[in-house]
Amino acid sequence: MKAGFIAVVGRPNVGKSTLTNKLVSEKVAIVSDKAGTTRDSIKGILNHGGNQYIFIDTPGIHKPKHLLGEHMTSVAIQTLKEVEVILFVLDGSQEISTGDQFVMERIEEARNTPRVLVINKIDKMSDEAMEAKRAEIEEKLGKFDGVVELSAEYALGLPKLLTALDPYLEEGMMYYPEDMYTDMPMYKIITETVREKLLHKTRDEIPHSIAVEIVDVVRRPNGKDRYDINIYVERSSQKGIVIGQNGKVLKEVGIEARRDIEEILGKKIYMNLWVKVKEKWRKKKPFLKEMGYHLDED
Ligand SMILES: Nc1nc2c(ncn2[C@@H]2O[C@H](COP(=O)(O)OP(=O)(O)OP(=O)(O)O)[C@@H](O)[C@H]2O)c(=O)[nH]1
């Protein structure tokens, strides 16, 4: 029996959450095409071939511009220090950027932890592009303990990744029971599901300005509990966009989120969504704390 913690890190939008979900065959982390989707570290647990792999999906590491960004980057960097092996994920279809190099510098700070590179999105790459990418990696990022080329979206190359991680797992006990695939509490799964649907339906600054909170759960005699959920935005103009014309956007978000949540809970629910304005909440420490986003000095 071998087990180990594996940090999944990289700059925003390279596919860390997609990879974590595909590895554990469950949706533990929400996914969108907007950079900065994941805000906390989320464990996805895979039991395979007698081994327990505990993947820690982290927020994309970037130079923070506000307190929420600071929380996100510090969560990811903290995770680097607590694991058996680091998985550095790159988007192979894009040139290696200063953003990737910034992540690499943070990894270097974790000194002796082994690091495996994942070149993701190979479905978008030709053989020639892959050849060129290998040379570019060596030049710009240096050497790794292992390199795996894969497509998270199409689940191509995942067994190779498990084989590459195998030597870094440690003999001993399992950390989690065999039927557990995430450490996310149910309230977080619910708020993240709502946030994901909102991310899919909004753009520009709005996805980053959204926070979601369950304010009440009312048990009902018919067994169909009512979830009262607040959606926070930063400006009143954003409130209108999230609600949409005649409430269309909010209604669609409600229908799609409820469908997913009912599947997860295995029962029918009612859901009320309210949109509220909390000016510049991403810069406000007390509000961030209330939402469970902790900052370094906490
Ligand atoms: N073509 C292709 N797209 C992918 C692949 N993996 C992920 N994506 C897409 O890339 C986008 C970002 O994916 P995420 O998994 O949210 O990326 P992330 O690195 O977790 O992003 P952050 O939370 O911003 O740090 C989504 O639109 C995914 O569908 C892949 O292998 N191929």
State if pTM tops 0.90: yes
The whole-number pLDDT of residue 121 equals: 98
Going from the Cα of 21 to the center of ligand 1, the distance in angstroms, rounded, reads: 11
220 annotated ligand-binding residue = no
The whole-number pLDDT of residue 110 equals: 84
Going from the Cα of 14 to the center of ligand 1, the distance in angstroms, rounded, reads: 5
Going from the Cα of 180 to the center of ligand 1, the distance in angstroms, rounded, reads: 24
- Confidence label for 111 from pLDDT (cuts 50, 70 and 90): confident
> Atom of ligand 1 at shortest distance to CA of 57?
20
120 annotated ligand-binding residue = yes
**CATH class of the domain at 186-290:** alpha beta
The predicted complex's ipTM stands at: 0.99
58 annotated ligand-binding residue = yes
**Three-state DSSP class for 65?**
coil
Rounded average pLDDT over 189-214: 96
121 annotated ligand-binding residue = yes
The model's pLDDT over 12-57, given as tens digits with 9 standing for 90+, comes to 999 999 999 999 999 999 999 999 999 999 999 999 999 999 999 9
Contacts of 255 (CB under 8 A, 6+ apart): none
Going from the Cα of 161 to the center of ligand 1, the distance in angstroms, rounded, reads: 17
Distance of CA 22 to the CA centre of its chain: 12
The whole-number pLDDT of residue 215 equals: 97
The whole-number pLDDT of residue 296 equals: 64
- Confidence label for 294 from pLDDT (cuts 50, 70 and 90): confident
> Atom of ligand 1 at shortest distance to CA of 20?
15
**Span 2-171 CATH architecture:** 3-Layer(aba) Sandwich (3.40)
CB 6 within 8 A of CB 165: yes
The model's pLDDT over 116-136, given as tens digits with 9 standing for 90+, comes to 999 999 999 999 999 999 999
59 annotated ligand-binding residue = yes
Q: Which two tokens stand for residue 50?
A: 């007698």
Residue bearing the CA closest to ligand 1, atom 1: 121
The model's pLDDT over 142-186, given as tens digits with 9 standing for 90+, comes to 999 999 999 999 999 999 999 999 999 999 989 999 999 999 999
- Asked whether residue 298 carries a pLDDT value surpassing 60, the answer given is no
* Numbered ranges of CATH 3.40.50.300 in the chain: 2-171
* Dihedral pair phi/psi, residue 72, rounded to 5°: -60, -50
Q: Across the strands, what pairs with 277?
A: 233
The model's pLDDT over 240-292, given as tens digits with 9 standing for 90+, comes to 999 999 999 999 999 999 999 999 999 999 999 999 999 999 999 999 999 98
CA pseudo-torsion sign 85, 91, 95, 97: negative
Rounded (5°) CA angle 186-36-136: 130
DSSP assignments along 221-282, one per residue: TTS--EEEEEEEESSHHHHHHHH-GGGHHHHHHHHHHHHHHHHHHTS--EEEEEEEE-TTGG
* Numbered ranges of CATH 3.30.300.20 in the chain: 186-290
CB 7 within 8 A of CB 79: yes
The pocket around ligand 1, CB under 6 angstroms, is made up of: 10, 12-18, 31-33, 35-38, 59-60, 120-121, 123-124, 151-153
The whole-number pLDDT of residue 297 equals: 57
Going from the Cα of 158 to the center of ligand 1, the distance in angstroms, rounded, reads: 15
